[in-house]
Amino acid sequence: MLEVVGLVKEYKRFRAVDDLSFTIGRGEIVGLLGPNGAGKTTCLRCICGILRPTFGRILINGHDVVTDQAAAKSGLAFVPELPSLYELLTVDEHLRFIAMCFGTIEVYDRMGEQLLERYSLLDKRNELVATLSKGMRQKLSIACALIHNANVLLFDEPLIGVDPAGAHEVKSEISRARDAGASVLISTHLLDTAERLCDRVIILARGVKVAEGTLADLRAMSNMEGAGLEEVFLRLTSEAKPPPIVAP
């Protein structure tokens, strides 16, 4: 379970995320939508401990990401938009390394082959990551995220650069994780994907949450009955206020 309470992230005098709160329960997929520069990636990076929140709390399975990092992160998986992988490790070594960090090397020994096969990485297992294509790296990044059975999954634009078969596999994986009881947060520009995949969406604009709910809730909120997510999204984000400037 993921709980974000009053999250604020400031870069010097610029507030990238302003007072963001939401909760994702077990077995739920939530989409984080917003135009470029809305603060989606900053929000995800705060949740997974890459960035320190300026204010607010982030709880993963009840553990605070700032004060109880190791426990909080042990249930978390993050798939960044541009997979940041060790290029001089082989595919197998990379997965093995992640499994060792999470103390699940025995699980990898048992299930590794199956995981590699599922992501079409089996024939590449002894090749260096540097030689993989962008799509294969994305698959490896997802495989790394799923290796320790995390129950909070964060995806930053997971379908960018993945071929149709890969995209289908990623969507199936996300659905499987939801069915297994995981809390999933997906940051995406692809509104049709969000509409079909997510149980709920949060719309950010200029660092502020402008709307949250199911598509029906958003339609009602924007007085656009029968409209698609795209129209609702454009209406809500265009009405957002300019970004707040932090006092020096």
Partner 1 sequence: MKPLVFLFTRSFVNGVKRSLSSPRRLLGLIFFVGYYLLLFRPRFGSEPSLPSNAQLPQFEVPPIAAIDAIVFAGFVGLTLLLSLSLFSYQAGFKPADVDVLFPTPVSPRVMVGFRLLRDYLLTLVLPLLMLLFMWRPIGSGWASLFRGLPNPDSAGLVGRAAGASYILMAMAFVALGYAMGIFFNRPEEQFQRYKRLCGWSLFGVFVVLAAFVVFRVRSAGSTAELVDLAQSPLLRIGFFIATGATDLTMAPLTGSWIQAAFGGFLLVGMVAVGVIFSLRQAGFIYEQAALKASEVNSARTLQQRGDTYGIIAEQARTGRIKAGKKSWIHRWRPQGGLALVWKEYLLQARSSRAFYWLFPGIALWLAVLPGLLSSPRTPIGPILVLTQLMMVFVATAVLSQGGYIEMLRRVDLQKPLPFRPGTIIFYEVLSKSALAIVTCLVGLVAGMIVTPSLWPHAVAGLIGLPTVALLLASVFCLVIVLFPDVEDPTQRGFRGLVNLLGIVLFCGPSIALYSLLLFMGLPPALAAIPVGALNIVIAVGATALAGNLYASFNPSE
- Which residues bind to partner 1, rule: CB under 8 A? 11, 41-42, 45, 48-52, 69-71, 73-74, 76-78, 80, 84-90, 93, 97-98, 100-103, 105, 126-128, 130-131, 144
CB 77 within 8 A of CB 150: yes
CB of 12 to partner 1, least distance (A): 8
Rounded Cα distance between 116 and 90, Å, is: 12
Q: Which residues, in sequence order, are CB contacts of 60 under 8 Å at separation 6+?
A: 1, 2, 47, 72, 73, 75, 76, 152
CB of 85 to partner 1, least distance (A): 7
Closer by beta carbon to partner 1, 1 or else 105: 105
CB of 7 to partner 1, least distance (A): 15
Rounded Cα distance between 12 and 161, Å, is: 32
Closer by beta carbon to partner 1, 38 or else 48: 48
Tell the burial category of 118 from Cβ atoms under 10 Å away from its Cβ (0-12, 13-18, 19+).
middle
Closer by beta carbon to partner 1, 51 or else 221: 51
Closer by beta carbon to partner 1, 44 or else 201: 44
Rounded Cα distance between 22 and 43, Å, is: 11
CA of residue 176 relative to chain centroid, distance: 15
Closer by beta carbon to partner 1, 87 or else 239: 87
Helix axes 105-118, 91-101, angle to 10 degrees: 140
CB of 27 to partner 1, least distance (A): 22
CB of 57 to partner 1, least distance (A): 16
Helix axes 134-146, 105-118, angle to 10 degrees: 140
